[in-house]
Structure 1
Amino acid sequence: MIEGRGLHLAREGRTVIAALDLVLDAGERLFVLGPSGAGKTTLLHALLGFVPLAAGTLAVFGEARRCERDFIPLRGPLGLLFQDPGDQLFGPTVAEDVAFGPLNLGLAPAQAAARAEATLAALDIAHLAARPVHALSGGEQRLAALAGVLAMAPRVLLLDEPTNGLDADASARVLAALAQTGLPMVVASHDPACIEALATRVLELPARPSA
């Protein structure tokens, strides 16, 4: 589903990732590990074209991806969950926020609302539908953000520290929701419980190379 060879990523003129090979097959939950600054978030963003490739090749769903127009069709099929759900939630209510993605995919308002309702129910958070997003707890925000991603019917999940800052109960709810999706995923995480619960394979990034 994803195959990167010799990936080289840089930010602000500094090398972040060098000569990295990355493969994700159907059914895999690949965890990307490494120290802070190793480039885990950068890698996830590069898979959606938000960080350009300095070198190497990247194929997603069997097609080469290099320039911006190659990545635009992936924004939906690759569902990115940000490390901070506050960066992802912006609708006035949870239901409106979750319906936003389906509306952008071209669904009619009634269809988008139905998709949002079904997604919230599947994650067992239908009771949050009318809540303002700013009134949610950390765990509720994470689940609402995940609902927004899942409502776009992704083929692969890209998850950036999905349990970061959550207490044990909220973390368990998020992990259960992720396992329930059955989707392949690339996950950046430091959380041993998250790795133990979900990982089928691990990719260790080295410390950031010198510029």
Structure 2
Amino acid sequence: MSVLIEASGLRLARGPQRQLALPDFALHEGERLCLVGPSGRGKTSLLHALLGFVPLQSGSLQVFGRARSREADFVPLRGPLGLLFQDPVDQLFGPTVADDVAFGPRNMGQDSAQAGQLALRTLAALQLEHLAERPVQQLSGGEQRLVALAGVLAMSPRVLLLDEPSNGLDEASCERLFACLLDTGLPMLIASHDQTLVQRLGTRILTLPA
């Protein structure tokens, strides 16, 4: 299996006086690697660092076969690495669901018609087409999570980065989320405290030390 992401000796900035050391890891094609461990040990920071949102202080990071260290190295990854934020409200921008899902494709250069069609196809694939014209402020928590996922998938990512994707969801919403994620067939890096999610989705576990 080809290596998609490989990290060695990573240290991340956590404020002016603190660095966070992370264990070495690699993500391969076909894997769903779950990051587990106590709160505050860097699961979210690691996901954000893969997109250049948290600066690397030292260590080696390769994504899709290229070394990544400077801001310019990370810009091309924002799309191929699809990040689902811990709070879906942080990534819902559009006035309606369809507008929101089309935002990423438009931002990547598609015209409004193309982006709109892609948004509707993505919503249909997740069985969310009935929400297309609903204002995002009127979505339930589970609907917000799935619409945020649709927005990520509309950008045709190669890898999903998922930050506590089942956080705050009831059992029925979790089951729907798990099914949607498995249906994508994409490799994933998943930060989660949810042991049910880890058991259902994970193919491998990386434990961050206390």
What count of residue pairs does the alignment treat as equivalent? 207
Q: Equivalent residue for 1:180?
A: 183
Equivalent of 2:35, from 28, 32, 36?
A: 32
1-structure distance, mates of 2:17, 2:156: 35
Deviations 1:153-188 (A, max 9, x none): 000000000000011011111111111100001000
Contact kept in structure 2, 1:8 and 1:20, CA below 8 Å: no
Aligned residue number for residue 132 of structure 2: 129
What residue in structure 1 maps to residue 69 of structure 2? 66
Counterpart AA for 2:76: P
Q: Which moved more, 1:13-22 or 1:184-193?
A: 13-22
Residue aligned with 1:20, SS: coil
Structure 1 stretches lacking a partner, 5+ long: none
Q: Report the 3-state secondary structure (helix = DSSP H, G, I; strand = E; otherwise coil) of the residue aligned with 2:183.
A: helix
> Who is 1:86 aligned against?
89
Whether 1:161 and 2:164 are equivalent positions in the alignment is yes
* CA distance in 2: counterparts of 1:33 and 1:50, whole angstroms: 21
Stretches of structure 2 that go unaligned for 5 or more consecutive residues are none
Contact 1:79 1:154 in 2 (8 A): yes
Aligned mates of 1:76, 1:120 — CA distance in 2: 18
Matched, 1:20 2:19: no
C-alpha distance in 2 between matches for 1:60 and 1:196: 26
Q: Is the 8 A contact 1:19 1:56 kept in 2?
A: no
TM-score by length of 1: 0.96
Mapped pair 1:195 → 2:198: yes
Q: Partners of 1:56 and 1:134 in 2: how far apart?
A: 41
Establish whether residue 98 from structure 1 lines up as the match of residue 95 from structure 2: no
Which one of 55, 58, 62 corresponds to residue 55 of structure 1? 58
Percentage of matched positions with identical amino acids: 65
How far 1:195 moved relative to its partner?
0.7
For residue 18 of structure 1, report the CA deviation from its aligned partner: 1.2
